[in-house]
Structure 1
Amino acid sequence: MIATALNVHADAPPRITATIRSEWTKLWAVPSTPVLIVITGVLTMGFTALITVFGGDAAIAAPHGESQYQTIFYGSALGVFAYAFLTAGFMGSVYRSGMIAYTLTATSSRTKVLLSKLIIVAVLGYAAGLMISLGNLAVTQGGLTAAGLPLLDPMAPSLVRAIVVFTGAGMMVQGLLACMLAVLFRNATAAVISLVLVNTLPVVAAQFLGESYAMSIPRLLPGSLLESLAGLSVPGSAGYLPWGWAMIGLITWLSAIFSVSLIVMRKRDA
């Protein structure tokens, strides 16, 4: 009976925690991973520093335009898409190298494999994004001090919301989308290009398709939804949605792409 119990245990599929540890090890085994993480931070904080140093007082003053605290998040898109490239490569590389076959041999549950990768992408993306937002705030406060301008109130609810949500959630959501698109395309570059087009083409088209389109479609894109969720979009502007609707929109995007990628991953050969 003991032998039978041991055999059952040996044949049992690995738990998702074991799969997560395995995928985490694979992520950091790639030499480019720490490099891309550093690049992500340098792009965002470096761009903020450049604006602060060379943009003049007007560029670093209080909220302006259609987005609150715009200066702090000038470079966020650069960092977000750098991270998206990392996550797309995290998924796409296993297809390019043929390692997906070995992965699915060790863990036959494709759902578990995909979920493990997505959990890692989400946690790492949010943590890195939050640290970058805090770094951007410090850079901006330094610029305001040097220019003799009033500092931003770090405890202001609107600023706390923006810092806690925007870059972290942006890296998490866009990273997840890039990772799942890499399942569909089996290619990191195609996944990132598709993600960029999804976020930009409808916005570019808005200037040609009239006010009705401009005031309805662009606000439903992932990037716009993230701005609304973080409280950066000004009510009444073309990109604004109440935070509850923005949350529903992001969940819809993630759920839809996840469902398609999981179906494709289950039906397609490794």
Structure 2
Amino acid sequence: MNRVGLEGQVAVVTGAARGVGELLARRLSARGATVALVGLEPDELKRVADRLPGEGGHWYADVTDDEAMARVAAEVRERFGKVDIVVANAGVAAGGPFTGSDPGAWRRVIEVNLIGSAVTARAFLPLLTESRGYLLQIASLAAITPAPLMTAYCASKSGVEAFAHCLRAEVGHQGVRVGVAYLSWTDTDMVRGADQDAVLRELRQRLPWPARKTYPLGPAVDRIVAGIERRGAHVYAQGWLRGMQGVRGYLPGVVGVVGLREVRRVAGRLGGVGTGLVGAGGVADERGREG
């Protein structure tokens, strides 16, 4: 497919203070894009913005806040004149048994990952319509296959995948393209935070290869950048994820059998599994809400 050069493009990246969002902002900027960083960590956002090789700026906002995101969209347009690319990347995660989960943390995963993506799209779609631009929704392997002890995260990522597919059909006639990016376990604060729990780490290590591997961040983000350049409907941060699409219909049955066996095996230790948001991003989200 033809690729769209990033030189002179204005890109918005949510959840840009760390992990996928931070490196993606740096890669886009290195290719000539002007990047607007959005997130809940003003000091970290400023640090990232100050190190961008090109022009950029940063905005403090909660992606679940309609008024805040509408303000960000207006200010980004006022400062840079347009928006060509929006990457809905902001996300949090929580693991553990649903019945023992913290209701607030469980709800927050849905709010940030799903509602936050919809709020982001609502705020920026008018600008993307003007530029005939591109919205990329960051999803996950969790959108393709269910997993025990990850109910909120799987539900949220399945939701954003469906949301993006619906939106693609709605706005395509206006020249706006919509894509979904899929990532497996990638070396970020979120994944490292989940691995701090011994039971969750053990269960992941027992997944079949290549699903149990932690993948380096750089190549994953490079694939996402390539997907943005071609305005892809589907973007795979790890190549093998493409093949999962063909078998996804069988996965709930397989997970139902294998997952039941594995959860039964560790059932006596599930009481010690943490129920809050994981990783530095989860801590930042909790602090942001408290503030």
Give the TM-score taking structure 2 as reference length.
0.27
User: Structure 1 or 2: larger helix share?
Assistant: 1
Greater Rg by CA: 1
Give the TM-score taking structure 1 as reference length.
0.29
